[in-house]
Amino acid sequence: MTKPSPSRPGLSKSRITAFEQCPRRLWLMVHRPDLARQDSGAEARFATGHDVGALACALHPGGVMIEPEGGLDAALAETAWLIAERHPGPLFEATFQHDGVLVRADILEREGRNGWRLAEVKSSTGPKDYHLGDLATQVWVLREAGVSLTSAAIRHIDTGFVLAREGDYAGLFADADLLDEASVLAQNRPKVVAAARAVLAGEEPVREMGDHCASPFACEFAAWCSRAAPVGPDWPVTILPNGGGKKWAAQGVADLLALDEAQLSPKHARVLAATRDDRPFHDAMGARAAMAGWARPLAFLDFETINPAVPRWLGTRPYQQVPFQFSLHLEGAGGAMAHHEFLSVDGSDPRRPCAEALIAAIPPEATIVAYNAAFEKRVLRELARDLPDLARPLLAMEARTVDLLPVAREHWYHRDQRGSWSIKAVLPTLSALGYEGLEVKDGGSAQEAWLEAADPACAADRRWALAEQLKAYCALDTLAMVAVMRGLAGEG
């Protein structure tokens, strides 16, 4: 084991949160940060948090930002001076320290003559359980530093907000005051801090992996901790969909092949049989019957959307799924498919041109086919709400939208799906198509590509390349639906 440095590392609210998730995570964060492996969405989450925090401060133009450029000692001194001089506030990133624990408060607002309101800004739409621990650490440190707190809140995104005027974000945030709850937890902070320091002073802790590796955060050290884990069975019981393997894992059953169909629900029994026998379950007759009522022509539709925490366009809400792209494969005579598409990457509001292109491309009698259709139906409803002059055809489309996913789930299973019926899991088991070789491979990377392309600083040739990547990905999504439908019907 690698031993830690003999110096005593400082603690912060984020390090204490890491300790409460898993002591080993804290130890690695401090002593072996080189072992961290961030997931693909980490950068986007950080950017969202930064943007939301900056906006929360911008809503208080008279506030003072306590910059850390001069070092934390300078930030501590500036904070103490501003409070002693009775600055009216608010203060941003006010810095305090107690017993070696340093915190930087997002926003401190003056309440009354001597009181202060602490606001911890989050990009979530409400307080979460782990937020309370963050708040408790700050309450403890600030009170020990002599700050009189009248309230302590999680300042979160209010999903009821609608952007009504360009640049006017007053009302975007709501406060959940948790001072009483945080105060109770704060009483135990000295013990938590002592325990965290004891961990940091020792060798790397040993802890079995489990649910804590993903909650409340996906641990960046999961790959390191799993390197020496025993090799599990080729077909673990956790393959059973909808969490069906948890019951068996709790009973000590790790291998799916150790079970018998008689012990399982019909769906789980099909998964077991297909896995054990290496023979797909395929009810082509049932699949054809399930799709028999879909009136021709068929229009296979997929949206790509952007859902910013801070609304970009008038009339939009926080985290609203705004479509910037669609792909449409439209069935013609003899089953031939014509491809239509829409893509907007210039940063302008894409809703109206997207809706108009959709209405022009889809015949009014067509059945719209989607995979996990609740998403497409929601996008259509929200377009209808935001564009009332186009509401009738958009709502008619929503009413004519059917879902291919339940057909696949009920009538097909190949063991290579490993318990998943996502389009990316099902497609290679029914056709030669696949997503290998694409630059944009999923919805998350599509959003990242759009954000880069829509940035005014993006060079024209780079924007063109990103647009081509987005088109290739979205087109494959709808072509994949065509292939899956034909495979399910036994037409492959």
Same domain (yes/no): 243, 333: no
Model confidence at 7: pLDDT above 60 = no
Same-domain pairing of 144 and 285: no
Task: Please report whether residue 100 resides in a domain.
Answer: yes
- CATH number for the domain including 83? 3.90.320
Q: Is residue 214 part of a domain?
A: no
Same domain, 186 and 264: no
For 434-470, how does the pLDDT look when each residue is reduced to its tens digit (9 = 90+)? 999 899 999 999 999 999 999 999 999 999 999 999 9
Print the domain residue range for 247. 237-279
Same domain for 267 and 289: no
Domain boundary among 227, 245, 279: 279
State whether 193 and 273 are in the same domain: no
pLDDT at 9: 63
pLDDT tens, residue by residue, 154-181 = 999 999 999 999 999 999 999 999 999 9
Mean pLDDT over 383-407 rounds to 98
pLDDT at 485: 97
pLDDT band at 42 (very low <50, low <70, confident <90, very high): confident
Q: What is the pLDDT of residue 480?
A: 97
Residues 409-428 pLDDT 10s: 999 999 999 999 999 999 99
Share of the chain above pLDDT 90, in %: 87
Establish if 393 belongs to a structural domain.
yes
Backbone angles phi, psi at 172, to 5 degrees: -65, -30
Query: For residue 455, what is the domain's CATH number?
Result: 3.30.420.10
Query: Are 328 and 464 part of one and the same domain?
Result: yes
| Pairing outcome for strands 101-111 and 115-121 | antiparallel
CA distances to 129, 189, 266, 446 from 196, rounded to whole Å, are 20, 10, 48, 40
Give yes or no for a cis peptide into 90 (omega within 30° of 0). Answer: yes
Q: Do 64 and 108 have their domain in common?
A: yes
Domain annotation covers residue 454 = yes
Looking at the structure, do residues 306 and 274 belong to the same domain, yes or no?
Answer: no
Q: Give pLDDT tens digits for 240-262.
A: 999 999 999 889 999 999 999 99
Structural domain includes residue 155? yes
Question: Which of 279, 306, 337 delimits the end of a domain?
Answer: 279
Q: How many folded domains does the chain comprise?
A: 3
Are 143 and 27 part of one and the same domain?
A: yes
C-alpha to C-alpha distance for 374 and 380, rounded to whole angstroms: 10
Identify the pLDDT of residue 386.
97
**Res 393 pLDDT > 90:** yes
For residue 220, is it within any domain? no
**Mean pLDDT, the chain, whole residue set:** 94
Give the residue with greater pLDDT, 34 vs 44.
34
What was the pLDDT predicted at 8?
A: 54
pLDDT in tens, 281-337: 999 999 999 999 999 999 999 999 999 999 999 999 999 999 999 999 999 888 899
The residue type of 111 is E
* pLDDT of amino acid 424: 95
> Considering 143, 175, 199, which residue would you say is the last residue of a domain?
199
Same domain for 366 and 464, yes or no, is yes
Q: Are 302 and 477 in contact (CB under 8 A)?
A: yes
The confidence score (pLDDT) of residue 340 equals 97
Q: Is 334 found in the same domain as 185? A: no
Provide the whole-model pTM.
0.89
Assign 492 a pLDDT band (cuts: 50, 70, 90).
low
207 part of a folded domain: no
How confident is the model over 115-156, as pLDDT tens digits? 999 999 999 999 999 999 999 999 999 999 999 999 999 999
Query: What is the enclosing helix (H) or strand (E) of 324?
Result: strand 322-331
Q: Is residue 204 part of a domain?
A: no
Mean pLDDT of 205-219: 90
- Contacts of residue 209, defined as CB under 8 A and 6 or more positions apart, other chains included, come to 222, 225, 226, 229
107 and 28 housed in the same domain: yes
